[in-house]
Amino acid sequence: EAQVTQNPRYLITVTGKKLTVTCSQNMNHEYMSWYRQDPGLGLRQIYYSMNVEVTDKGDVPEGYKVSRKEKRNFPLILESPSPNQTSLYFCASSLFGRTNEQFFGPGTRLTVL
């Protein structure tokens, strides 16, 4: 089944404790992206990747890191989480091009205390 998977689905952590949210897709998509969703703001892009070893900042990259060492994986790293990073996070992937929709993972609900 074609899908984007994320782990964990739920995470409660404390300020400053490094964490990684994994994302994997099995559709051989070049493009992958991370979003955070907050009430009233929709989805805001954190980082995106055009291919292996090619990443770029989205609209809200502060406090996040990403890496793309393999085509299928695109982990999101919070080196020192803070309470304002409490949010719902989505990973997505797609083919290149403006005509292609993104496929979304199930989301990760992160709470930073």
**Residues near another protein (CB under 8 A):** 31, 33, 35, 40-45, 48, 50, 56, 59, 88, 90, 92, 94, 96-104, 106-107
Please state the closest distance from residue 86 (CB atom) to another protein, in A: 16
Closer to another protein by Cβ: residue 85 or 94? 94
Closer to another protein by Cβ: residue 36 or 75? 36
Please state the closest distance from residue 41 (CB atom) to another protein, in A: 6
Q: Can you give the C-alpha Rg of the chain in angstroms?
A: 13
CA atoms within 13 A on the CB side of 102: 16
Please state the closest distance from residue 106 (CB atom) to another protein, in A: 6
CA 18 to chain centre: 15
Closer to another protein by Cβ: residue 6 or 85? 6
Side by side, the strands of the sheet bearing 65-66 are 4-7, 19-25, 76-78, 65-66
Please state the closest distance from residue 112 (CB atom) to another protein, in A: 19
Q: Between the CA of residue 80 and those of 17, 18, 26, 33, 40, what are the distances in Å?
A: 6, 5, 30, 21, 25
